[in-house]
């Protein structure tokens, strides 16, 4: 059984997939399995992924016959994890050779750490550095409520969700929920149970492969989360859906009632402050239809 499972959910990643896989196979910590889960790609993704099967026994490949949506593809590789630790890997990103080694050292040294991740180096399509950033989600020494508050207030780009996670901790959750911001909600839920450590070095090279921020981006992201069909959300209200999903997560969490009450109060303040105007616009849009 490998020590680490790396889940790589992909869809039409032919441009960068080989580079991403090579980056992972070059890791100094070699005790891992790499599960590539293809969400019904229509480009050369399948051919590229399959070409690694005879070259490295650590690589596995699974193809969905149709697009099941990003949420299910992400959750599928996490549910299938065999390793003590798990990480999600994008088919367009890159990792420093010591990424796994450095994160593993922290997790092995402290049982209370549930997630370890490094600073992020954003890169462009050519691999050139755009900027180095910190998620700021380190929660060493904090209790559950303080950890939760740190995550809900500071999470923006969610690079931390691509860190190394204890598999048993991840399986304590329902994984990614079927809502916009599902990665933010998962990070908040993990913070309820364990602390996060952020490494000071930028060991994760995350590629800017989405269009610039804009009013329509949440709707575009939401459209990729779910499979086509009757289960696809009919409302175009990503921020309102996020606002409802956060408290549902807290209510379902394995926590005491007083702790949940404090967290729900914190959520009310956070959601109204960060997303209140956008939620109002979405609800007004529904009324005007």
pLDDT in the model for residue 229: 46
With vertex at residue 286, the alpha carbon angle to CA 285 and CA 289, rounded to the nearest 5 degrees, is 85
**95, part of any domain:** yes
CATH code of residue 197: 3.90.550.10
Q: What is the pLDDT of residues 113-123, one digit of tens each?
A: 999 999 999 99
Q: Are residues 138 and 280 in the same domain?
A: no
Name the one residue in this structure whose structure tokens are 């050519």.
126
pLDDT in the model for residue 235: 62
**157, part of any domain:** yes
**155, part of any domain:** yes
Q: Which of 172, 207, 242 is the last residue of a domain?
A: 207
Q: What is the pLDDT of residues 240-289, one digit of tens each?
A: 999 999 999 999 999 999 999 999 999 999 999 999 999 999 988 887 76
pLDDT in the model for residue 136: 97
Q: Are residues 25 and 116 in the same domain?
A: yes
Q: Are residues 110 and 183 in the same domain?
A: yes
Distances in Å between the Cα of 168 and the Cα atoms of 22, 41, 149, 187, 218 are: 28, 30, 23, 15, 31
**218, part of any domain:** no
Any residues with CB less than 8 A from the CB of 129 and at least 6 apart, and which?
121, 122, 123
pLDDT in the model for residue 285: 80
Q: Are residues 188 and 260 in the same domain?
A: no
Q: What confidence category does residue 26 fall into, taking pLDDT thresholds of 50, 70 and 90?
A: very high
Q: What is the dihedral of CA 249, 254, 259, 263, to 10 degrees?
A: -10
Q: Is it the case that residue 78 has pLDDT exceeding 50?
A: yes
Q: Is it the case that residue 233 has pLDDT exceeding 60?
A: no
């Amino acid at each position: 059984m490998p020590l680490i499972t790396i889940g790589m959910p992909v869809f039409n990643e032919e441009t960068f997939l080989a580079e991403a896989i090579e980056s992972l196979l070059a890791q100094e910590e070699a005790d891992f399995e790499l599960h590539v889960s293809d969400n019904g790609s229509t480009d050369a993704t399948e051919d590229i992924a399959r070409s690694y099967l005879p070259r490295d026994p650590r690589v596995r490949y699974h193809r969905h016959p149709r697009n099941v949506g990003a949420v299910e593809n992400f959750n599928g590789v996490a549910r299938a994890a065999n390793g003590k630790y798990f990480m999600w890997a994008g088919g367009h990103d890159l990792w420093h050779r010591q990424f796994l080694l450095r994160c593993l050292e922290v997790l092995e040294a402290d049982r209370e750490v549930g997630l370890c991740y490094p600073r992020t180096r954003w890169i462009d399509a050519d691999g050139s550095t755009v900027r180095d950033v910190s998620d700021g989600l380190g929660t060493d020494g904090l209790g559950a409520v303080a950890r939760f508050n740190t995550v809900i207030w500071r999470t923006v780009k969610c690079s931390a969700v691509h860190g190394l996670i204890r598999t048993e901790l991840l399986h304590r959750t329902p994984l990614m929920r079927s809502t916009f911001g599902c990665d933010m909600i998962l990070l908040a839920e993990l913070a309820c149970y364990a602390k996060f450590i952020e490494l000071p070095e930028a060991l994760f090279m995350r590629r800017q492969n989405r269009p610039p921020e804009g009013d329509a981006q949440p709707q575009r992201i939401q459209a990729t989360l779910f499979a086509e069909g009757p289960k696809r959300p009919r409302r175009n209200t990503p921020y309102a859906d996020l606002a409802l999903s956060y408290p549902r997560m807290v209510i379902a969490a394995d926590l005491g009632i007083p702790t949940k009450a404090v967290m729900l109060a914190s959520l009310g303040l956070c959601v109204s402050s960060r997303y209140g105007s956008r939620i109002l616009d979405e609800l007004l849009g529904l009324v005007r239809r």
